[in-house]
Structure 1
Amino acid sequence: MAAGARAVQETGWDAERDVELLLAFLNTVNMTEATDVLDDEAAWRQWAADRRLGAAGAPHKARASRDALRSVALAHHGVQAEAAPPADMTHGSIRIELSAGVPVLTAGDALGAVLAAAARLAVLGYWERIKICPADDCRWAFYDRSRNRSRTWCSMRVCGNREKARNWRERARSTAS
């Protein structure tokens, strides 16, 4: 067993829990409904409380971190975001503690919990599977569970189908001209 896998097993780390937390955080903005949990301090506090993450902290710090993480995840499709993400995010409270002789990231607040989840996913090779739907009117975050990591759309039935239909119409128009 590899050292990383052993450390994960001994600390009880759950990748799926980190994936779900990170996706929920990335999807606090909803392009389709034009809503953003981080526009409302009470909604941000409720979001953090619903997940038992501790103090929510300032929504503007959470927004800056979320937008930077979304920008990097969008780049997994080769799409450049409007603004470059900051080189580092000093928001949130994260500590490294020893658990069963293994360093473990722990968080002191809600944003720290999200950033710790993102860090664990990155270190253990899961980060590249966090993606943002490239459809301009969607931009939903999802986890690519495909074997070859090639999934593009949040949903082939919705965004993928819409894009394929759009491309077909464009080809049909150009052929007709």
Structure 2
Amino acid sequence: MHTDATLVVDFLNTVDIERGEDVLDSPELWRWWAEEHELSPGEGDDARAARDGLRAAVGDPRLPGTSLEVPLVFSLDDGKPRLLGTDATSTILAAATRLAIRGDWVRLKICPADDCLWAFYDESRNRSRTWCSMRVCGNREKARSWRARAVGVHN
């Protein structure tokens, strides 16, 4: 997976619906997360607005779509234009913007399982992957569907 996609997916998954944990609920955890990604943490409120906006944009059904404006930095280094951020939030948004420019934004998805909603990057050739994991969420949903059909047949 491309480093921009990895960074954005990691950020989108700073909330874990299944466990009820949110890195952004703790300034210490947010600082640790940002430092683990070699970023300056910046403001947690900005991070939450960015994460919720990005999650809504890639399909999190719990969150309303929203507008978000964050200043980014442009530089020209060695004859190459670069889009940069000044802290974790703006760096992640710069990465998301690069994904959109490359046409890879559509590969960011949210697992449709209500008890999961994990973000993932769809690396399938035709961009048709639905579940974060076929072994876990996909299999669980297929089993539910099978049971529902089986009950209908026996009624």
Q: Aligning the two structures, in what range does the TM-score lie when normalised by the shorter sequence?
A: over 0.9
**Are residues 1:153 and 2:131 paired?**
yes
Q: What is the aligned partner in structure 1 of residue 95 from structure 2? A: 117
TM-score normalised by L of structure 2: 0.94
- Provide the residue aligned with 2:82 in structure 1: 104
Question: Which residue of structure 1 lines up, in the alignment, with residue 105 of structure 2?
Answer: 127
Aligned length: 155
Q: Counterpart amino acid of 1:90?
A: E
Paired residue secondary structure (1:103): strand
Alignment TM-score, normalising by the size of structure 1: 0.82
Number of the residue aligned with 1:59: 44
Deviation (angstroms), 1:103:
2.5
Matched, 1:85 2:65: yes
Moved more, 128-137 or 96-105: 96-105
Provide the aligned C-alpha RMSD in A.
Answer: 1.4
Instruction: Write out per-residue CA displacement over residues 104-125 of structure 1, whole angstroms, 9 at most, x where no aligned residue.
Output: 1011111011000000000111
The Cα offsets for residues 102-153 of structure 1, whole Å up to 9 and x where unpaired, read as: 3210111110110000000001111100111000000111111111100000
1:16 corresponds to 2:23: no
Matched, 1:46 2:32: yes
Give structure 2 stretches of 5+ with no counterpart: none
1:169 correspondence with 2:144: no
SS at match of 1:105: strand
Deviation string 1:65-122 (CA, Å, 9 cap, x unpaired) is: 11111111117xxxxx2442212x224x411111233321011111011000000000
Partner of 2:2: helix, strand, or coil?
A: helix
Q: Secondary structure at the match of 2:58?
A: helix
What SS does structure 1 have at the residue aligned with 2:81? strand
Partners of 2:55 and 2:63 within 8 A in 1? no
- Which stretches of structure 1, 4 residues or longer, exceed 3 Å deviation after superposition? none
Distance, in Å, in 2 between the alignment partners of 1:100 and 1:70 is 34
Distance in 1 (alpha carbons) for counterparts of 2:106 and 2:77: 27
| Of 13, 16, 19, the match for 1:27 | 13
> Quick one: distance in 2 between partners of 1:83 and 1:24?
18
